[in-house]
Structure 1
């Protein structure tokens, strides 16, 4: 019987771009090195050579060595298969949780951690669609347009990180999230016609979530406090909050009550000037229907 060679070809680095270890992320380097060492010790304990193990898990020998030496981040499927092949009784598979935390750049992890802890999130963005609202295809098109350009591996890593942040929508109890987007961001043809259409359809889907309020700021409105740039507000269960605005306090994050009140006033004014949530859904549907 003929077997398709692609079905059995061992995976290499080219098959899994974006799973390199960031050398500047000390904690990430330590975690991946520890996981790699455990994988090697388990493999050697059962007397299995790297090449033999690679065949069993579907990876090339070179990739096995790089994962075991802490130079590559193992995918969850790799750890599951390794656990099964080496008879680790779930100990290797359990490392997926630690690996997931270092899969993404440190600054993205820090942001995702804050978003995950927040009980209320408010965001105004002017030039683009906010990261929490982007489809993977939209995000990829944005990252590929950056100058100087990212490597393809870094693009994939950043796309995966941005997509992972969307777990904030699945929290229980749910986080109250409000967005105000500029009309221009909806009309920009990022990634081409199909990617733009999918992005608009995704926005309509998110707008239906009970814990999400999505509003559009039409271009033909008067000046508003968001013309200076993005505003972000995160509130936490213990009563604390953090905010940031491109046009205030040098763009730095702040938890000072007086400065937060200023950002809240600006964000409240923006929401009051934007279309209502119902009007915004109708507006997005109209943009979606345009040629």
Structure 2
């Protein structure tokens, strides 16, 4: 990615274009352009095509792009991963699995092994490495604000077996002690709550734009419509209110781990 970024930067500077102007044309912010130019962000196919047009050097840009190592993530998930990596705030409601950002290696491997159609071993290893690499976000400086709400039944499903689940529960307790992280459990005993429409992820960008990400089987989409995002933020706020407090959640998770 560094080579591609260096080529784009050299062409942009030779043309005399600013990152703001260039970014407006390719659909990236100036900070996102800077990340591409430093080799810190994988450019999308649209970025490559639009960059070639803006810079008047389509052949050179495409030649540089040919050397890019593509993401091991599914194509529909790639844009979200990019957004996640640069987010300053993240709120997540999970209903099926523990979130990838806080999965242990054993739990993540069990999830990938459970996929159907079955993944080849090489694909499992690639995706496992990619999933765990996203967790650098937890140690980023300055720190990101993270809020997780997870359904209780997710934490009771023995994904990978009892030992793997116990390790995952202990991992949640460890991460939940961080000052920038909140982990809450939505108890199964709750008769009805605002999360009945399913999982969601809410992001805040460095430019303070609020986005949402919704995922279905084999597909996902980022939402930037203000009205839609506003509804989801309001819904997430209610979900947090209805879930156990972080302290009570930690006690429940510790109890579940002790039962294994």
Under a length normalisation based on structure 2, what TM-score does the superposition of the two structures give?
0.69
- 1:160 and 1:225 mapped to 2: Cα distance? 34
Establish whether residue 124 from structure 1 lines up as the match of residue 93 from structure 2: yes
**1:20 aligns to what?**
none
Residue 249 of structure 2 aligns to a residue in which SS?
A: helix
Paired position in structure 2 for 1:91:
none
Which residue pairs with 1:36 in the alignment? none
CA distance in 1, matches of 2:237, 2:215: 16
Counterpart of 1:224 (choices 148, 171, 193) is 193
Match 1:161 to one of 113, 126, 130: 130
Instruction: Determine which of 101, 105, 122 is the counterpart of 2:73.
Output: 105
Kindly indicate whether the alpha-carbon contact (under 8 Å) linking 2:149 and 2:186 is maintained by their aligned counterparts in 1: yes
1-side partners of 2:184 and 2:161: how far apart? Answer: 24
Displacement of 1:168: 0.6
| Number of equivalences | 195
Structure 1 distance, partners of 2:89, 2:255, is 29
Cα deviation digits, residues 142-189 of structure 1 (max 9, x gap): 111111100011011111110000011111110000000110010000
Alpha-carbon distance, 1:246 to partner: 5.3
3-state DSSP of counterpart to 1:219:
coil
Contact 1:182 1:216 in 2 (8 A): yes
Corresponding position of 1:253: 222
Distance 1:204 1:226 in 2: 23
Q: Residue 224 and residue 251 in structure 1: after superposition, are their counterparts in 2 closer, same or farther (change >3 A)?
A: farther
4+ residue segments displaced more than 4 Å = none
What residue is the counterpart of 2:239 in the other structure? Answer: 270
- 1:87-110 residue CA offsets vs partner (Å, 9 max, x unmatched): xxxxxxxxxxx98x7463364553
Mark the runs of 5 or more structure 2 residues left unpaired by the alignment: 5-66
Aligned to 2:11: none
- Mapping of residues 34-183 of structure 1, within 5 Å: 102=70, 104-105=72-73, 107=75, 108-183=77-152
Instruction: Return the alpha-carbon distance in structure 2 between the equivalents of residues 202 and 240 of structure 1.
Output: 31
Find out whether 1:198 has 2:167 as its counterpart: yes
Residue 277 (structure 1) shift: 0.5
CA distance in 2: counterparts of 1:283 and 1:126, whole angstroms:
17
Contact 2:80 2:213 in 1 (8 A): no
Determine the C-alpha separation between the residues in 1 that align with 2:206 and 2:71: 27
Q: Distance in 2 between matches of 1:217 and 1:139?
A: 22
* 2:151–2:185 contact (8 Å) kept in structure 1: yes
The alignment partner of 1:225 has SS state of: coil
SS in 1 for 2:184: strand
Cα deviations across residues 216-253 of structure 1 (Å, max 9, x unaligned)? 00000121221221111000121212103359xx9632
Q: CA RMSD in A?
A: 2.4
**Contact 2:184–2:244 at 8 Å: present in 1 too?**
yes
Question: Do 2:87 and 2:206's aligned partners in 1 also have CA atoms closer than 8 Å?
Answer: yes
Gaps spanning 5+ residues in structure 1: where?
A: 1-26, 32-97
> Considering only CA atoms, is the larger Rg found in Structure 1 or Structure 2?
1
CA distance in 1, matches of 2:187, 2:166: 19
Match of 1:208 in 2: 177
Q: Which residue of 2 aligns with 1:17?
A: none
Secondary structure of the structure 2 residue equivalent to 1:104: coil
